[in-house]
Amino acid sequence: MSAFRSESDLEFKLVSLECHFTWDLDISRSKLLCIQDTLEDIGLEEGYCWLGHIFNLQGFIHHQLGLIEEARGFFCRAAEAFRQLRNTVSDEGPWLVVNYGNMAWLHHQMGEEAQTREYLSKVEALVCEYPSPSLDDPHSEICAEKAWTVMKFSTNKKLLAVDYFQRAIRMQPDVVEWQTSRVLALVKAFMHRKENLDSDILEKVKIAKEHDPENLYLTALYLEARAQKGARIQDEAQKLARRVLRKPVSSYSGMKPLLRLYRIYLSIDEALDLAEEALERHPDARYIKRCAAICYKRKVFSQSNNHLERNLIERAVSLHKETIALYPRSSLKMQISLANIYAKSNQRAEAEELFEKLLEADLDPEEEQMVCSFYAKYLQYSRKERNKSITYYKRAAVIPHQSFYREDSIRRLEKISEEKRQPMSRDIEDFLVNLSL
């Protein structure tokens, strides 16, 4: 009975920890691999103030992928990064609570009970020595790391990240990177819902930019928000482009939102010129190639079929192939984009071959829904094979996993079924009824 209570007490303490293992994160393999690439693209220089968080999350991802020793290495690097970044007299602080919690879980799942209890004791000691300023929330350092982590896992949870950052800021209002990240999460939440920023949020972005003038990602978003309101921002955008091009390559550098700003509000051809200049400066940088590939895809799909230039198609295809090779873990969307470029340029055999390869691949549920959804649209609009497209909309819809692609496929089936002269209307209606049971 004593051993049982001891084991039960251990499990309770582990579940009660604030760490990546208890934060209910999406641990599908495709999501983990995608975030792994995202973290690598941040770069250690631009992501300096987040190094501890980056290594902690890398450790969790490697653990979930079964790479235990690699996970241990990243957790150790995280602890060291926190100690160096905080530059305090003591090697210990509340910023290590999440890291020690992760280490406790790691040892527990390896069956190393003595080490598990050692890290649990370290967590308890830190919590006692550094109590949270709030009675209702964990320490500000924990709230901030949880917010940063949630941001990386789900677009739909950006507002949750905003809330966690806000809690951290209430307790410790002088941390600039938390203020900036809170605003970034807020802006991205509105962008995901395709909503323009209201004046209140725009003012928050402006204030954050003034407090963090070297954050060019934030500056690019601010210009984009002003452009949405009709402001003339061409001169400012050109000055920003010079600054972004001088920065080290990083997903934090501001290149991606800057190129989007150029594409949508200035000139897509100027966006292509900017992407090409970035490639000239950094010919081996995979992140820049990915940004450039997206620009070329947008250019291809902005053209009518009769005005597609051969050089444009060849450059778009070439960049997509290079990017896919550089992101072997998370290139599914890029492969779908390449298939759609083939379809747009009447290279149907290549499009069909690539879609068939993806349909036969070992995919997780959301990935399979994504491929089926895009293939169905290709069949419906490029091949004019509506009946066959219905088959793949159904295949996406029947997979029991909630995602945008499932919901979109259901909406498209509903729309097709409403066309009374459509021979398969009754069949689709029956399918949708059974789907909802």
Q: Pick the more confident residue, 203 or 420.
A: 203
For residue range 330-345, list pLDDT tens digits in order: 999 999 999 999 999 9
Query: pLDDT value at position 420?
Result: 63
Query: pLDDT value at position 155?
Result: 74
Query: pLDDT value at position 398?
Result: 97
Superfamily of domain 1-131: Tetratricopeptide repeat domain (1.25.40.10)
Looking at the predicted structure, is the pLDDT value of residue 418 above 60?
Answer: yes
Q: What are the residues whose beta carbons fall under 8 Å from the beta carbon of 70, sequence distance 6 or more?
A: 59, 62
> Residue type for 17, please?
L
Query: pLDDT value at position 2?
Result: 44
Query: pLDDT value at position 3?
Result: 45
Burial class (CB in 10 A: 0-12, 13-18, 19+), 66: exposed
User: Taking all residues of the chain, what is their mean pLDDT, rounded to a whole number?
Assistant: 93
**Region 199-203 average pLDDT:** 88
Q: Which pLDDT band holds residue 1 (cuts at 50, 70, 90)?
A: very low
Q: Which pLDDT band holds residue 89 (cuts at 50, 70, 90)?
A: low
Predicted TM-score (pTM) of this structure: 0.92
Please report how many Cα atoms fall inside a 13 Å half-sphere around the Cα of residue 88, on the Cβ side. 12
The SS3 call for residue 377 is helix
Q: Which pLDDT band holds residue 4 (cuts at 50, 70, 90)?
A: very low
**Region 136-157 average pLDDT:** 92
Q: Pick the more confident residue, 197 or 117.
A: 117
**Region 241-255 average pLDDT:** 96
Looking at the predicted structure, is the pLDDT value of residue 316 above 80?
Answer: yes
We find that the CATH architecture of domain 267-361 is Alpha Horseshoe (1.25)
Four-point Cα dihedral 284, 316, 244, 56, nearest 10:
-60
> Residue type for 122, please?
K
Query: pLDDT value at position 154?
Result: 75
Query: Rounded to whole angstroms, how far apart are CA atoms 361 and 345?
Result: 25
Question: Which residue is associated with the tokens 């100690």?
Answer: 83
